[in-house]
């Protein structure tokens, strides 16, 4: 919150930060050190690798779109609406964050699977989710949605309701307030939430494996390909791991490129964030 | 100044904590107090018989604790090659055992303790009416197999080639448990798994045996590792698995014994 960083941090905080950064970076460096560079290009451009990478990017994009469509209304309701049991609803919505993904996969299986809750109805409509790319998208959306909701809800609370109230007193209808005031204010938050969701989708493994299966070009995303290659060809698994790390770095880098835009919502936060935090 | 102290105490606590942790990570090869530990790395499919054998072996050798590390054979081989403290290794295929032997980490020639063959698992009631191996290639049948990279997938591929049929699986799982999961939940109409998996499922799936299965037999080699802490004890365990008690436990789990 303090924009002037004049008060120095205690030294042990710096030591702890260094240890934390090292803990996160060392394993990544170890992967890079393990790569068989002579074979790197052939390994990552093999037919199965490219199929997995392309499937991962396509499904993560579709899932992110689904996350935005479902997550924006959810975040708006959680941040603005008042209803009994809201606290409980929020905890349940965020459950996939702490749930092991494989549990999510099993839950999806018993919901959308052939023998699942909605399986019969889906089959009657001629839709089969099992073993399809749609199953991958469902699994990714399930685990990534809380990231978007959490980020956007935080941005909405930080932005506060002042401007919305002013717009309403000036005669703007709810839809106009949402479109002209609320959404533009939290756009940076929405963007970073979407990027986080996309990154989470890219890394999704457990739910996909349990729910969608694993078939080249259809359901075998990059993490599943890495897991499989590890059985037979460790070099290929390491090379593909590095590719996934690089894609993730690019994604995270892009989200931090939008940092200047985000200072707008920090500014509007001003002194309100303290009250927002206390209200939580 | 005094405000710094809790910080220092915390840092010291963290540091000692880390040291304590790293001390724990040192291979447990201690044999003080007359107790000894035996670490057995065994393929996941051996879980049921090896858990029983480990208990029986402990009973027959008072003061001995058998620690079982059960995982996929490729994982276990990779862990052993990376220096994990193991005394005995039981692999579900010869290829992964060869990795360990070729690295000079086996103390002896591996011996085959068990064989396993594939079978067809179908969900309760056999909804797709699978009657034999050729039915797996029928249109509209959702078949799940292991990927070629893992032993159960290699065996499935070999059987399909021998029978001259083309399998078009809806999923190629990275482990046989993945195949079982899809059959148990009814997502798949049929899956190619091991006889022992059907036996271990306790009736959750039905078996459709097929005669062609015996053309692809998976062998389970067992070996004492060169790095074994107590080679006498490790040797005793290897002999125990190969003796009558071991053979009986493996047979009851559905394995063939040589």
Summarize the confidence of residues A165-169 as an average pLDDT.
93
- At residue A258, the pLDDT reads 56
Mean pLDDT of B19-31: 40
The answer to whether the Cβ–Cβ distance between B178 and A228 falls below 8 Å is no
Q: Is residue B17 part of a domain?
A: no
- Structurally, chain B folds into a number of domains equal to 2
**B15 in a domain, yes or no?**
no
Tens-digit pLDDT profile for residues B168-198: 999 999 889 899 999 999 999 999 999 999 9
How does DSSP classify residue B225?
B
Residues B244 and B203 in one domain: no
pLDDT at B184: 93
Both B127 and B148 in one domain: the answer is yes
pLDDT, tens digit, 9 for 90 and up, residues B86-142: 999 999 999 999 999 999 999 999 999 999 999 999 999 999 999 999 999 998 899
Residue A179 pLDDT > 60: yes
Residues B108 and B49 in one domain: yes
Percent with pLDDT over 90 in chain B: 72
Task: For chain A, say whether B171 makes contact (Cβ under 8 Å).
Answer: yes
Element (H, E) at B14: helix B4-24
Tens digits of residue pLDDT in B43-52: 988 999 999 9
Task: Look at residue A192 and tell me if it is in a domain.
Answer: yes
Element housing B178 (H / E): helix B176-184
pLDDT for residue A7 = 84
Let me know if residue A97 belongs to a domain.
Answer: no
Spatial distance between the Cα atoms of B36 and B141, rounded to a whole number of angstroms:
53
Q: Are residues B103 and B128 in the same domain?
A: no
CA A60 to CA A75: how far, in whole Å? 20
Inside any domain, residue B160: yes
- What CATH number has the domain bearing residue B184? 3.40.190.10
Q: How many domains does chain A have?
A: 1
**Residue A189 belongs to a domain with what CATH number?**
1.10.3720.10
Residue B7 has pLDDT above 50, yes or no: no
Residues 6+ apart with CB under 8 A from B117: B194, B195, B213, B214, B216, B217, B218, B256
**pLDDT value at residue A158:** 93
Whether residue A234 and residue B142 make contact (CB cut-off 8 A), yes or no, is no
Q: Which residue of A has its CA nearest to B75?
A: A231
Write down the pLDDT at residue B5.
44
Q: Which of B11, B172, B181 is opposite residue A12, by nearest beta carbon? A: B11
B172 contacts A109? CB cut-off 8 A: no
Compute the average pLDDT of residues B143-156: 91
Contact A214 B171 (CB under 8 A): yes
Say whether both B209 and B122 belong to one domain.
yes
A214 vs B147: CB contact, 8 Å cut-off?
yes
Cβ of A210 within 8 Å of Cβ of B174? The answer is no
Q: Do B8 and A229 touch (CB under 8 A)?
A: no
Q: Are residues B74 and B125 in the same domain?
A: no
- Cβ-defined contact of A12 to B8 (cutoff 8 Å): yes
Predicted TM-score (pTM) of the model is 0.80
User: Of A185, A178, A160, A204, nearest to A67 (Cα)?
Assistant: A204
Instruction: Give residue-wise pLDDT tens across range A108-133.
Output: 999 998 888 998 888 888 888 889 99
* pLDDT tops 60 at residue A268: no
Residue A1 clears pLDDT 80, i.e. is over it? no
Nearest to B146 by CA among A203, A231, A129, A114: A231
Number of A to B CB contacts under 8 A, please give it. Answer: 74
The reply to whether B59 and B183 lie within a common domain is no
Whether the CB-CB separation of A214 and B171 falls below 8 Å is answered with: yes
The residue-averaged pLDDT of A78-93 equals 92
Please provide the average confidence, as pLDDT, over all residues in chain B.
86
A138 within 8 A of A108, measured Cβ to Cβ: yes
Closest CA of chain B from A122, distance in Å: 13
A100 domain residue, yes or no: no
- The CA-based angle B135-B139-B142, given to 5 degrees, is 75
Domain range enclosing B61: 33-114+219-252
A222 inside 8 A of chain B by CB: no
Rounded mean pLDDT, A36-56: 92
- Is pLDDT above 90 for A204? yes
Q: Is the minimum CB–CB distance between A149 and chain B shorter than 8 Å?
A: no
Partners of B14 on chain A (C-beta within 8 Å) are 16
Query: In a 3-state reduction of DSSP, which class is residue B218?
Result: strand
B253 phi and psi angles, rounded to 5 deg:
-80, -5
Kindly determine whether residue A16 and residue B11, on different chains, have CB atoms separated by under 8 Å: yes
| B28 domain residue, yes or no | no
d(CA A130, CA A116) in angstroms, rounded, equals 10
Q: What is the pLDDT of residues B195-228, one digit of tens each?
A: 999 998 888 999 999 999 999 999 999 999 999 8
> Can you give the residue range of the structural domain that contains A188?
39-86+129-272
Query: Most B CBs within 10 Å: which of A222, A225, A228, as the mutation test of the B interface?
Result: A228
- The verdict on residue B14 lying in a domain is no
- Residue A110 maps to a domain: no
Average pLDDT value over all residues in chain A? 87
Q: Do B144 and B229 belong together in one domain?
A: no
The answer to whether B9 contacts chain A (CB < 8 Å) is: no
Confidence at B145, pLDDT banded by 50, 70, 90 = very high
Residue A79 lies in a domain: yes
pLDDT for residue B29: 41
Residues B105 and B157 in one domain: no
In chain A, the residue whose alpha carbon lies closest to the alpha carbon of B178 is A210
Question: Would you say B160 and B114 are in contact if contact means Cβ atoms under 8 Å apart?
Answer: no
Say whether both B176 and B50 belong to one domain.
no
Residue of A nearest to B18 (CA): A19
Residue A106, in any domain of the structure: no
């Amino acid at each position: 919150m303090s924009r002037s960083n004049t008060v120095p941090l205690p030294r042990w905080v710096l030591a702890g930060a260094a240890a934390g950064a090292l803990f996160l970076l060392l394993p990544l460096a170890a992967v890079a050190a393990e790569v068989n560079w002579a074979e790197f290009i052939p390994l990552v451009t093999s037919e199965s690798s490219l199929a997995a990478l392309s499937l991962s990017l396509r499904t993560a994009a579709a899932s992110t779109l689904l996350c935005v469509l479902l997550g924006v209304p959810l975040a708006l309701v959680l941040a603005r609406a008042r209803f009994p049991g809201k606290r409980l609803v929020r905890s349940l919505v965020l459950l996939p964050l702490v749930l092991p993904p494989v549990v999510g996969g099993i839950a999806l299986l018993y919901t959308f699977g052939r023998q699942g809750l909605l399986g019969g109805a889906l089959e009657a409509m001629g839709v089969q989710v099992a073993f399809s790319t749609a199953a991958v998208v469902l699994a990714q959306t399930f685990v990534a949605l809380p990231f978007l909701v959490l980020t956007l809800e935080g941005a909405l609370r930080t932005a506060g309701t002042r401007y919305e109230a002013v717009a309403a007193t000036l005669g703007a209808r709810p839809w106009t307030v949402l479109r002209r005031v609320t959404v533009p204010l939290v756009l940076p938050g929405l963007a970073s939430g979407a990027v986080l969701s996309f990154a989470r989708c890219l890394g999704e493994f457990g739910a996909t494996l349990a729910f969608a299966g694993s078939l080249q070009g259809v359901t075998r995303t990059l993490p599943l390909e890495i897991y499989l290659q590890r059985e037979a060809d460790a070099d290929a698994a390491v090379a593909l791991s590095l590719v996934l790390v690089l894609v993730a770095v690019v994604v995270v880098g892009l989200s931090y490129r939008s940092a200047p835009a985000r200072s707008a919502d920090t500014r509007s936060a001003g002194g309100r964030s303290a009250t927002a935090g206390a209200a939580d | 100044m005094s405000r710094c102290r809790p910080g220092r105490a915390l840092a010291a606590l963290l540091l000692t904590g880390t040291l304590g942790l790293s001390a724990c990570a040192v291979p447990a090869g201690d044999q003080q107090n007359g107790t000894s530990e035996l670490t057995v790395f065994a393929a996941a499919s051996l879980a049921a018989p090896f858990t029983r054998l480990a208990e029986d072996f402990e009973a027959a050798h008072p003061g001995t604790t058998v620690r079982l590390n059960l995982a996929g054979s490729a994982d276990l081989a990779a862990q052993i090659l990376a220096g994990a403290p193991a005394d005995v290794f039981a692999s579900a295929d010869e290829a992964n055992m060869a990795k360990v032997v070729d690295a000079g980490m086996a103390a002896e020639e591996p011996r085959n303790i068990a064989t396993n063959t594939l079978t067809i698992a179908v969900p309760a009631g056999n909804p797709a009416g699978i009657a034999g191996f050729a039915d797996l290639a029928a249109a509209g049948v959702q078949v799940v197999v292991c990927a070629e990279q893992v032993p159960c997938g290699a065996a499935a591929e070999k059987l399909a080639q021998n029978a001259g049929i083309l399998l078009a699986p809806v999923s190629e799982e990275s482990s046989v448990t993945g195949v079982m999961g899809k059959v148990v939940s009814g997502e798949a109409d049929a899956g190619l798994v091991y006889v022992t998996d059907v036996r271990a499922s306790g009736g959750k799936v039905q078996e459709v045996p097929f005669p062609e299965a015996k053309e692809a037999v998976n062998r389970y080699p067992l070996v004492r590792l060169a790095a074994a802490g107590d080679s006498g004890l490790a040797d005793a365990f290897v002999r125990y698995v190969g003796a009558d008690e071991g053979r009986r436990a493996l047979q009851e789990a559905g394995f063939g014994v040589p």
